[in-house]
Amino acid sequence: MADKDLSASEDVRRLTPAELRKLNKDQLQFALRTLINETTEDTSAGPTVVQMGRIEAKLDEFLTKWNKEKEAMQKEIKELRRDKDKMTVALGQHQKMLEAIEAERRAANLIITGVPEDNMGGATTDRAKVNLVLATMGQSGVPVKSVERLGNQRQDGRAPAAGGSRPYRRPIKVVLANTDDRKTVLENAHQLKTKDAVFRSIYVKKDVHPIVRKELDRLRDATKREKERPENQGKNVRYDYRERKVYVDDVVVDSYQVTSF
């Protein structure tokens, strides 16, 4: 019996008690291992208790491993969200600091838009036009340090057209002597709306960084779109300039997005 072939589990199952007693040590160990770890038992009448136990053990092992991986992943996601929130706060603080530095650098500056490129009420130079705008607001005594048209002109000397019937008018940056003069001019800018048509199309604003100005313009456009939505009719749609947020009733629907410059 020592040379009996026990390479297959079927051979082990066919052994009689008498044949088992005749097996040598190696054959007996093989037979016992095969019977204990049997995975190809006859399941025509359903899985055996041993097989069910093995399946359940494997399933428990898989679920335990999956739950540990899930918990680890959830912990990592939570940490990433926490890091993202910290970075957002830090970036916001950094942005405010940069804006404060920019605001200080531009504290005495104005941006005037809508000033014609050609003759305006007898004024032919941009400085003369700015002085005329200030005089129309009752601020003729405000000293002007410098005047600069922003943007490029065409080669023929005219400003590039922006489409529409009204010619494009490049904005003018005006540097005043101090922040108090700028504050006074801004407080009286509304007077232009009661004057002749040429002055009613002129706007006087604070000078801010172009990226900030673009984002503030986006919020104003967003406010306009919200007001035009049919579902917002009868609701209080407003733009809070200080908070830099767009509200529909008391719900924030848009806000200033942190940008770098």
Average pLDDT, the chain: 81
Global pTM value: 0.53
pLDDT at 51 over 70: no
46-55, 80-89, 151-160: least confidently modelled range: 151-160
CA angle 152, 155, 159 (to 5 degrees): 45
H or E element: which one contains 104?
Answer: helix 49-105
What one-character-per-residue DSSP string does 4-36 give?
Answer: ----SHHHHHT--HHHHHT--HHHHHHHHHHHH
Dist. CA 150–CA 82, nearest whole Å: 43
Q: Provide the pLDDT for residue 12.
A: 66
User: In whole angstroms, what is the distance from residue 149 CA to residue 186 CA?
Assistant: 19
pLDDT in tens, 114-144: 999 988 988 999 999 999 999 999 998 899 9
pLDDT of residue 157: 47
What fold characterizes domain 109-206?
A: Alpha-Beta Plaits (3.30.70)
> How is the chain split into domains, by residue range?
109-206, 211-255
Share of the chain above pLDDT 90, in %: 41
Q: Using one digit for the tens of pLDDT, what is the confidence trace for 60-98?
A: 777 788 888 889 899 999 999 999 888 888 887 887 788
